[in-house]
């Protein structure tokens, strides 16, 4: 499909020259001579790029048209053109959402380069949005229980906030998926989601890994260590099993939450980082506070706490998850979708899934590995559980 470019200028000669040049380059181009006509073509032609003159007679000048195009949610990138523009005007146009600013008389080589830059940007943006869309499918919250419904309502608000969030629940209940939802549904989605597993890190290394370590001295062969907080800048840092964090690391984490600043090991310099702190735990942190193994002030710093109930208390979600994994593995293999009879389904709904979602997922995958037939009964299920 050809790239569509809309040229808007009150001078017909300029419009015609640009239309001819753009057509020679293989673009599909149309022209407008005033603001009203430009808005109509923007809606019907749906251009990828708009070349827009700032100063035009009539009730709508270029800035008015730019504002209107952006307010309608158009995905077009707008390049402003002017023969006597000022820095103030260029800044104003950029604030409204213009991609760039070109001075007249136009140098076509510069315009050509600018168009190529915009097309590369749009391609990368489209690819990124596609990846985010697929990611959002992968982290979708499966279930119809009141817990899942409330989570879906609350996640959008949590994703817009920078308040620390603690997710509490038994192992394999999808706490990381909840954390990813908070990250990817908000304004930080284009930045990194960094997951740090506190339980897998030696306690004496936790501070260095989370807050970094400066190089001992300039010509030292020993390398410094970049902090997890710097990797997560503008994004989110998810601290899995935060109950395993040592007290010194807890103290530094508390200070970071309060100030957005931290010090690396071996440095007096304070670093700043804009990070949304998310954490999970399978332990009762109130009990850990009483046992003095978890700082009370750090626990209280988590302004939002999500408690995830076990699957045994969410039968609606369990059934939805069974159907979801049956569909998921039929696409993965690929093979025909398998069906459970009523007795087989009820058996799985009443089974105690000790390791919750992880165990259920592994079992459904096992069904696809063991059985070639499409319809399964209770006896089939009992033989492999």
Q: 355 to each of 45, 311, 312, how far by Cα in Å? A: 55, 10, 11
- Residue closest to 8 by CA, chosen among 94, 78, 68, 59: 78
CB-facing half-sphere around the CA of 31: CA atoms within 13 A: 16
> Nearest 5°: CA angle at 247, between 245 and 250?
65
pLDDT at position 219: 46
Helix axes 175-184, 146-160, angle to 10 degrees: 40
Instruction: Give the residue ranges of the chain where pLDDT is below 70.
Output: 85-87, 132-138, 216-223, 333-334
Per-residue pLDDT, 335: 75
At 211, is the secondary structure helix, strand, or coil? helix
Closest CA relative to residue 4, chosen from 33, 37, 29: 29
CB 155 within 8 A of CB 139: no
pLDDT digits (tens, 9 = 90+) for 146-184: 999 999 889 989 998 999 999 999 998 999 999 999 998
Q: Is 168 exposed, middle or buried (0-12, 13-18, 19+ CB in 10 A)?
A: buried
Q: Residue 286 belongs to what H/E stretch? A: helix 285-290
pLDDT at 138: 62
Dihedral, CA of residue 13, residue 16, residue 18 and residue 19, to nearest 10: 170
Pair 278, 224: CB distance under 8 Å:
no
Q: What is the pLDDT of residue 134?
A: 65
Nearest to 170 by CA among 381, 311, 344, 346: 311
Domains 4-131 and 139-309 share a fold: yes
Q: Which residues pair with 28 in a beta bridge?
A: 4
| CATH assignment of 139-309, among 3.40.1440.10, 3.40.640.10, 3.30.565.10, 3.40.50.300 | 3.40.50.300
pLDDT recorded at residue 222: 55
Q: Can you tell me the distance from the alpha carbon of 344 to that of 379, in angstroms, rounded to the nearest whole number?
A: 8
312-384 CATH, one of 2.40.50.140, 1.10.8.60, 1.10.10.60, 3.40.50.300: 1.10.8.60
Q: What is the pLDDT of residue 136?
A: 61
**Domain 4-131 is in which class?**
alpha beta
- Distance from C-alpha of 151 to C-alpha of 219, rounded to nearest angstrom: 51
- What are the residue ranges spanned by the domains of the chain? 4-131, 139-309, 312-384
Greatest pairwise CA separation for the chain in angstroms: 82
pLDDT given for residue 137 in this prediction:
60
Distance (Å, whole) CA 42 – CA 32: 10
Give yes or no for a contact between 31 and 53, defined as CB atoms under 8 angstroms apart: no
Question: Reduced to 3 states, what is the DSSP secondary structure of residue 384?
Answer: helix
């Amino acid at each position: 499909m050809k790239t569509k470019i809309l040229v808007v200028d009150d001078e017909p000669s300029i419009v015609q020259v640009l239309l001819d040049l753009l057509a020679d380059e293989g673009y599909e181009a149309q022209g407008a001579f005033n603001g009203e006509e430009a808005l109509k073509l923007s809606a019907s032609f749906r251009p990828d790029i708009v070349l827009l003159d700032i100063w035009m007679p009539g009730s709508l000048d270029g800035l008015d048209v730019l504002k209107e195009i952006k307010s309608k949610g158009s995905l077009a990138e707008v390049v402003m053109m002017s023969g006597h523009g000022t820095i103030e005007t260029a800044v104003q146009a950029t604030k409204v959402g213009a991609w760039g600013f070109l001075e007249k008389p136009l140098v076509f080589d510069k315009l050509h380069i600018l168009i190529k830059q915009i097309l590369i940007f749009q391609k990368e943006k489209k690819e990124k949005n596609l990846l985010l869309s697929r990611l959002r499918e992968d982290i979708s919250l499966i279930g119809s229980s009141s817990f899942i419904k409330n989570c879906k309502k609350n996640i959008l608000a949590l994703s817009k906030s920078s308040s620390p969030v603690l997710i509490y629940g038994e192992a394999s209940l999808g706490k990381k998926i909840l954390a990813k939802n908070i990250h990817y549904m908000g304004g930080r989605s284009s930045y990194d989601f960094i997951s740090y597993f506190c339980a897998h890190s030696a306690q004496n290394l936790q501070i260095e890994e989370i807050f970094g370590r400066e190089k001992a001295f300039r010509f030292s062969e020993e390398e410094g260590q970049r902090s997890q907080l710097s990797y997560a800048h503008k994004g989110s840092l998810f601290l899995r099993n935060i109950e395993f964090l040592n007290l010194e690391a807890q103290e530094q984490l508390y200070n970071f939450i309060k100030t957005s600043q931290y010090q690396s090991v071996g440095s007096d310099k304070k670093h700043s980082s804009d990070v949304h702190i998310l954490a999970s735990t399978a332990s009762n942190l109130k009990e850990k506070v009483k046992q003095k193994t978890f700082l009370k002030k750090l626990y209280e710093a988590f302004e939002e706490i999500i408690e995830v109930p076990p699957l045994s208390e969410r039968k609606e979600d369990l059934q939805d998850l069974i159907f979801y994994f049956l569909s998921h593995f039929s696409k993965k293999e690929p093979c025909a979708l398998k069906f459970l009879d009523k007795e087989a389904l009820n058996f799985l709904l009443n089974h105690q899934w000790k390791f919750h979602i992880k165990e259920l997922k592994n079992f459904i995958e096992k069904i696809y590995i063991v059985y070639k037939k499409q319809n399964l009964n209770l006896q089939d299920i009992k033989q492999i559980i």
